[in-house]
Amino acid sequence: MSSITLAASDREIASDVETLQRDGSVARKGAFERDWVERVREDMMTAFWAAIQRPGGTIGRGPRRWYVEMHPEEMSGFVDLVSHPWVVAMSTAVLGRDYRIVEVGFDVPFQGAKNQPWHRDFASPPETYRDHRITSLAFNLTGVDVTEEMGPFEIAIGTQWDDGRGWKHEMFPSRELWSRFAERGVRKYPRMGDISCRTALTMHRGTAHGSPVARPVLILGVVRGDGANPDEHDLALTRDFHDGLPTDVRDRLLCRVVDELTPISQRHDIEGLVMGED
């Protein structure tokens, strides 16, 4: 790779970080081949149909909408995803060289899913609402070409710095504040192969899903090294899978190494999403 290409890449990453800081979200178009994404979509849907049949296997995110956490080795393209140059570069630039991968999962709405209330995924830490520092990232990868009928993800641009300490659970603002988020709201229509990077503190919601086609979206959770907490995250890898990973990937994982995987009992319930907006 020439130094000119490297310089251009550095400028692109700097620009993407600036967009993330300003808007709370940024995307890289065509990062992956469509055939690769199709395999990931199949992995997500296979994991969903297995999880929905066991108690605690899924978490409701509103009517006809679920979240499922996955074991990394249930995703055939896990190494490709976490090794992608843009994923690595954005994680390093925003979180530092000691960032850790802490979660792999997916959201999937089906026909009949309703608008979610405006929310963020956890309470904002002082480093964010006070110091305007991002301490964690969520990378999103769509499993389908998103259309209006599929209930596209909507994000309220620039709201990642909102304090939120007066909101319910510090995550759910009152309805009186929703108009501000709606004014800033931008719906996203990614295509297979696109990937986005966002802070989950930017106000967002899934919208009503009228299509018979499900819209699974993979979520990769990454945190700053000093924020990696095994009490909050619990990736498990079998010894053979762990030992077979590239060293740079293995060193990034906050995980347990086990002899045998057991079904995941979902832990990250968000009470305010269960009923949906209506």
144-153: pLDDT as tens digits: 999 999 999 9
pLDDT digits (tens, 9 = 90+) for 115-128: 999 999 999 999 99
Dihedral sign, Cα of residue 259, residue 236, residue 81, residue 2: negative
How does residue 31 score in pLDDT terms, banded at 50, 70 and 90?
very high
Q: Note the pLDDT of residue 1.
A: 35
% of the chain beyond a pLDDT of 90 = 87
**Looking at the predicted structure, is the pLDDT value of residue 6 above 80?**
no
Q: Provide the CA 4 distance to its chain's centre, in angstroms.
A: 32
How does residue 272 score in pLDDT terms, banded at 50, 70 and 90?
low
> Mean of the pLDDT values across residues 12-37?
97
**Looking at the predicted structure, is the pLDDT value of residue 263 above 50?**
yes
> Mean of the pLDDT values across residues 102-126?
96
Asked whether the beta carbons of 197 and 26 are under 8 A apart, the reply is: yes
Q: Note the pLDDT of residue 2.
A: 35
What residue segments make up the domains of the chain, in order of their start?
3-258
pLDDT digits (tens, 9 = 90+) for 72-97: 999 999 999 999 999 999 999 999 99
How does residue 7 score in pLDDT terms, banded at 50, 70 and 90?
very low
Q: Note the pLDDT of residue 3.
A: 36
How does residue 157 score in pLDDT terms, banded at 50, 70 and 90?
very high
Q: Note the pLDDT of residue 229.
A: 79
CATH assignment of 3-258?
A: 2.60.120.620
Asked whether the beta carbons of 257 and 237 are under 8 A apart, the reply is: yes
Q: Note the pLDDT of residue 270.
A: 60
- Phi, psi angles (nearest 5°) of residue 255: -155, 165
Beta-carbon neighbour count of residue 4 at 10 Å?
Answer: 8
> Where on the phi/psi map is residue 43: left (φ > 0), alpha (ψ -120 to 50), or beta?
alpha
**Looking at the predicted structure, is the pLDDT value of residue 166 above 70?**
yes
Q: CB neighbours of 185 closer than 8 A, spacing ≥ 6?
A: 154, 155, 156, 157
Average pLDDT over the chain, rounded to whole? Answer: 92
Q: Note the pLDDT of residue 231.
A: 73
How does residue 233 score in pLDDT terms, banded at 50, 70 and 90?
confident
